[in-house]
A and B are shown apart, each in its own frame.
Chain A
Amino acid sequence: MQTRTHPLLVAFSVLVFFFLLSPLVIIVGSALSDTSYLTFPPQGLTLHWFQNIFEISAFRRTMITSFTLAVGGTALSMLIGIPAAYALARYRVEVPRFMGNVFVLPILIPEIVLGFSLMKSLATGMGLPITLSLLVGHALLVLPYCVRVVGASLNNFDFSIEEAAVSLGCTRTKAFFVAVLPNIQAGIIAGFILAFITSLNDVSVSIFLTGPGVSTLPIQLLAHMEQFFDPTIASVSVLLMFVTVAVMAIVERTLGLTFLTK
């Protein structure tokens, strides 16, 4: 049996996808344009602007900073997030409800407020070096993803399994590593990836915490745009987009994207 689709619904759907995808098409197109200014449709085709990312030392440097920061910040965040998620799930009855929400605060409060307050407290208040305050800032920014996604896999975990390990001779600490951790691995990987992407693409926190000599790729992109309006901007955007899509594709292939929305 064939169901008839209303022509207006078809038109509407096409429009939605057009608005969702056209900016991305324009960016990809502009990045390939053989002109020294941003334009669409591209005039001529070149990969020169992608090459340019690696030739301009500021981009090269900030790209390394961004990736290091994303890995380091997420790792640091996991060190706090996994125990926190564990405690929230294991002691569901004892821990007051609001404690779970505390860990989500960094995505609830406006990012610009978070960035500003981190600058006041970490950089100017405590006088931390730029790299360190960036690391701490990003760790805090991605903490909600770590706690939530790891927490989702812990909520389905039967803690009797941990007690079984203890009854068979493991200390509490060892039981966590041999009985709990292997069974929440998928959640940890998914949380790590989400956090990694969030950190890599962040502007609002980084803009307050970067300073002389140390910057991240998205911030460098903004700085570059103020001086030059060339297709490098588009090519960096495409690069960031590509990394995000690639990472998501890996998640989809290995764990399934539904895992992130659980």
Chain B
Amino acid sequence: MTVSLTLDNVSAHYGSTKVLEDLSLHVGEGELVSLLGSSGCGKTTTLRLVAGFLQPTAGTIRLGERDLTRLPAHARNIGLVFQTYALFPHLSVRDNVAFGLKQRGVGRRERIRRADDMIARVGLEALADRHPANLSGGQRQRVALARALVIEPPLLMFDEPLSNLDAKLRVDMRVEIRRLQQANGTTAVYVTHDQEEAFSISDRVAIMNAGRIMQLDTPEVLYSKPANAFVADFVGFENMLKMRVVAEAGDAVRAEMEGGATIDLPKDRFAVPGRDFLLAARPEGLLVVEGAGAGIPARLGLRTYLGRAYQYQCDTPGGTVTANGPLSMPMEQGTPVSLVPQPDQCCLLPVEA
């Protein structure tokens, strides 16, 4: 059974502080959507609202045809995987996994058969009789996953499930999570603050800030075409330059940046969104060319070695920007250069009110 999850204009308050404002979100059948953001952005609150541990002050939450908004948490039938794993310390792995089945009145033999099946699917057959205290972090997380999956929930939710694991294990586990989620075709919500993690396993990612979704799209679109300055900064467009269109010269637009320097942007490669706009560029999106040229005039500052390139702190009339230069040609501090924006590593954003 695959269903979709819909949040309509959901708001939540803690006392007088607004944590979520008018949040709407649709997670399609069998889709995995990540909620990505730093702490306090409202991603965990959103998950807890859907789980039923918090009540929204406004809005509705629906799972398929079912309205969850006023349904108590225990009746929602959602599989949850916690950051701390939250295994029952007094129960064996098998009893942990069988717990949800027991609550559903599944008979003992059937329950153990299904629990053992699921334990085998996460590769822990040999550890079924152990207690959680005698398992490693990765093994605990597999038990938590098995425990959430065995009840065959229409919706799975993950709350920072990998942040207590070491880097290598994190990568293995996220592949495992994605594999099991896709095999079951379960709709899933995944909360994390780790961009790589979110982008690697999600169908779509919602980047959140201050209780709102800033942009919800596929990782590819978020990475190459952020819709606003917040998302651009989040996905690595480190340089943000304020620009204003001053003239149209044939097939290019002439824009002036703060400090007075002008630059010509070819119309067929850059879509200028308005009179005032932001030029957002990754460090590799500003090509460092020695001498005066068609780009932003700058003087090289500190040089650092990245392995794949040299990175320069460049002084421009509009402030310091970060740009990468080729390894083949290290340049000295103080060299006058021109920074030429590369369309595939830059984006032009409208200035927000």
Contact = CB atoms under 8 A, between A and B. Distances in A.
A182 interface: yes
Nearest to B150: A168
A179 B151 CA distance: 18
Contacts of A182: 88, 90
A164 B78 contact: no
5 contacts: A164-B87, A167-B80, A168-B103, A168-B151, A182-B88
B17 to A, nearest CB: 13
A173 B139 CA distance: 29
Contacts, number: 60
B99 A163 contact: no
B86 interface: yes
A163 B80 contact: yes
Interface residues of B, number: 27
Nearest to B105: A169
A160 interface: yes
User: Which of A160, A167, A171, A172 is most buried by chain B, counting CB atoms within 10 A of its CB?
Assistant: A167
B51 A167 contact: yes
A166 B74 contact: yes
Nearest to A169: B103
B86 A164 contact: yes
Interface string B123-161: 000000000000000000000000110010000000000
Interface string A163-194: 11111111110010001001100000000000
A168 B87 contact: no
A169 B100 contact: yes
A161 interface: yes
A107 B79 CA distance: 46
Nearest to A171: B74
B86 A168 contact: no
A158 interface: yes
Interface string A115-138: 000000000000000000000000
B74 A161 contact: no
Interface residues of A, number: 17
Given A158-B86, A160-B84, A165 B73 contact: no
* Pairs A-B, 9 closest by C-beta atoms: A169-B103, A168-B100, A160-B86, A164-B86, A167-B80, A182-B90, A160-B82, A161-B86, A166-B73
B72 interface: yes
A170 B103 contact: yes
B89 interface: yes
A166 B100 CA distance: 9
B73 A158 contact: no
B73 A164 contact: no
A161 B87 CA distance: 6
A171 B73 CA distance: 8
A168 B82 contact: no
B86 A170 contact: no
Given A169-B75, A183-B89, 17 more contacts: A158-B84, A160-B82, A161-B86, A161-B88, A161-B89, A164-B87, A168-B100, A168-B103, A168-B147, A169-B74, A169-B77, A169-B103, A169-B151, A171-B72, A182-B88, A183-B88, A183-B90
A177 B325 CA distance: 63
B305 interface: no
Interface in B275-299: none
Given A168-B147, A170-B74, A163 B86 contact: yes
Interface string B53-81: 10000000000000000001111111110
Contacts of A167: 51, 73-74, 76, 78-80, 148
Contacts of B90: 182-183
Interface in A86-145: none
B53 A163 contact: yes
B269 interface: no
Nearest to A93: B14
B109 interface: no
B104 interface: yes
Contacts of A158: 84, 86
Contacts of B89: 161, 183
Contacts of B53: 163, 166
A41 to B, nearest CB: 53
A171 B75 CA distance: 8
A126 to B, nearest CB: 39
Contacts of B72: 171
Given A169-B74, A183-B89, A163 B104 contact: no
Interface in B12-42: none
User: Which of A169, A172, A179, A183 is most buried by chain B, counting CB atoms within 10 A of its CB?
Assistant: A169
Contacts of A175: 74
